[in-house]
Amino acid sequence: MQADFWHDMWESGVVGFHQTEINGFLQQYWQRLGLHGDETVLVPLCGKSLDMLWLSGQGHKVLGVELSQKALDEFLDENKLTSAPLVHAHFCGYQLAAMALLCGDFFHLSAADCEVVKAVYDRAALVALPPEMRKQYAAHLQTILPAGTKMLLVNLEYDQSLLNGPPFSVPESEIRQLFANCSRIEVVFEQSLQRKGVAAQEKVLLIEF
């Protein structure tokens, strides 16, 4: 998928993946990561997710990465947040008191950018990517994250032949293959639901790098 796809989507305002409330799985299962509460959390492909506000409210520092400048601008405007321009070699963005929002290509994120990251929250990143990009995404995370980093991953599975993505269907078997080198992959919740009339499974996984 090309960057233009996401830019066009944000420009159109058709962003069905954006949730207008804090994600319930985040609130229910975040404590399962066993964090102290003041860690830096990476939120890949963050959009204008309100979940970043929840994480910040728990005491975490947030590092959000998003391709669309419009998404980040809307996040700041809609939540009446004050920020300063962020200086970075590969990103533009915004610096807040306990939050850094990087605008640019996620794959330009480096290990130096993530040296203090202790956790990752992925609600809509992995499922936003087609198969080849999922491989790149998982490999990149394992390259840039410190050992021991923990991730909360919200995933969706359905018959891909019946619906187009995104969000794409990502089988649990694929996740286990993508993150096979990680020390822990655990499904902590799963439920059946309908997505546009198609049977689907939503799962919450904990992964430790």
Higher pLDDT, 3 or 153: 153
Q: How many CB atoms are located within 10 Å of the residue 83 CB?
A: 16
pTM of the model: 0.93
**Cβ-based burial of 42 (10 A; exposed 0-12, middle 13-18, buried ≥19):** buried
Q: Which two tokens stand for residue 41?
A: 């959390």
Helix (H, G, I), strand (E, B) or coil at 148: coil
Q: What is the pLDDT of residues 62-71, one digit of tens each?
A: 999 999 999 9
More confident residue, 165 or 39: 39
Q: Report all structural domains of the chain as residue ranges with CATH numbers, in order of start.
A: 22-29+37-208 (3.40.50.150)
Amino acid 2: pLDDT: 58
pLDDT in tens, 80-131: 999 999 999 999 999 999 999 999 999 999 999 999 999 999 999 999 999 9
- As given in the structure block, the two tokens for residue 171 are 């089988």
Cα-Cα end-to-end distance for the chain: 26
